[in-house]
Structure 1
């Protein structure tokens, strides 16, 4: 075209910059999004190995920080190393984790985006805050959105159950093979909220009082009461697992009056929480260290803290070597059994140690973490992927004798794979 000027309206259209164009939150992230899609697809068909390969392609974000949630890496490692020893209820929990990440984090379809927004809105409303726009909006605090989606107990419950996220994933995301390996996960969809009093632990089991029926209930000691003391009250969902029941995730500690109100009217538990919020009650542990794997409800940060107390600081830029973690796990088993036999009638709780001269290998625990049931901690450490992978290479005959003593005090799946290890060594002898 010649030097003739373009019409005014064409010149303006090329130079005008909209004032309020939202920033694109995924600009330049295509390689990582492909890795996420590949990992999601592999998980949905029950392929932990394929998912881990996708994770390993892009372990770090563009800024050099870890890209994947720690809980996702740990649960894939647990499934990989436990293999057939993984209980079927763990596959059900894997499905719940996928329902959250597929339908919220990758925003598959209008219904998924609506479900996420509604769940976040409910949480912010409970706290009396202004609803958050979607991530990427110029006025949204992406960190606050992430804290809710990744850690808020109410968000998880609302997204999976009240708004149908689990049911939708079972219908549209999970493969038939994945569902076939789970433990009655379709029955988990309609599991009601309940109110419970925690009565205490005994090795492999936890004992609760159901505030609705006033009957006692046993659940496996996989750390579901890691944050509770006997007599504490909580709300949560009991689901079928094996020949009994368990909590689909660690229940939420609440005041006794609120637990009883939820037990009496489980369908309207959100209304009861809203009433509690108006009265100044605490609702969630959104800021608590709630990353967990599949096999235990003990936070991963506590597992690292316990192992680290025997090992000191990890190597720069990473966790301790798996062999070192396995040795630390065996030291924990030894110390726990020594404490048990020294005082068989004691409450098995992990206590703070204040005496600097007692020769104990444990550091003082952070006061914010509270009190912990000993065997829940042992179970959580023994189902750490690094421990499972390396313990066969470092275990000694003396360690095997200790594991035989611990076997009957462990919940599944720690008891199964410890039993398998003992059988293998007995057969090789």
Structure 2
């Protein structure tokens, strides 16, 4: 009888992991629109955690997952305790120039509400990461592929719907973001003017174009590694149609990585030639075509020069957050002011303010440790490395978002791909 129960639990357990991966990109939909924690992936992970601890299994994978999760939580609580003690010993006044997750409270330093909520998001995602890492098998590849395929297909549907009907066709996104002052539900509806025409900036069901870019950029790299040429082309087209600086930043990082680190010299020289040609074409069109000139100014130059609201805000928020951390006492420089305290427009200054220099170093080492995963297929390995590096730099510069489940799924996918040989890759092609 007990054997049947454990067998049943194990069956549902593995199915639940695949379902969570499948909905991991669905971030602009929530069961209760005003409560971010009711995003389907979060709710399913909570159920998974309950199953994990209510039905313990006497297996090596279970024990490894349990102790790794326990170790992370213990270290995180210890670290958080030190930050709270630091806030008590060295109280400060946080200026309004620094963006806080809870913008209604600039006075509370100890046990802020955002410390609890953001810590919960982190712990939930780390558990998902460990489960995928330790229970990875070929079946999860299908779930990963379809999670991103559905997002891309929905983005294409939105784009085409606007072209035909000149209105939003988004029928999934319903989440109400706390920072929205205009009552927009499900994220932003953004258009990109090109001459006399307006095009919808693709966002799928991620909330906004930059988040769509953040989610799909690493998958674009994995598609190339899995030799899915046509899917990679479609994904690249969607990334371009976001008209997001984040997308082009990620693609730039990808090209740089392949130019310097690809083991295939033909790929390196081809990318160098394509990059040089594109730069030449862009410069020519920028100088001679008014429509192209306006597009480049809107997407790149105005943002980087701070002439747009977005570009000006990014630079001012970064400087305010970084300078406040830099002039702090030694404890706050090392440990920060507490996880989930501030949220700048970049993850670099956000990490320094919240978890200090030690937290930044720990996060960086954790991310780059994935480059050591011994993936057997060389081409897939290189593109997985490119995906990890893209995510890191995009987070640090543009998207300070750690709570998206897709980020942790991509990180853990290295362990899914670890034991794949050429025969396994051929199986992936059929998915």
Q: Which has the higher strand share?
A: 1
The question of a shared fold, defined as TM-score above 0.5 by the shorter chain, is answered with: no
**TM class, shorter-chain normalised?**
under 0.3
TM-score (norm 1): 0.22
Q: Which structure would you say has the larger Rg?
A: 1
TM-score (norm 2): 0.21
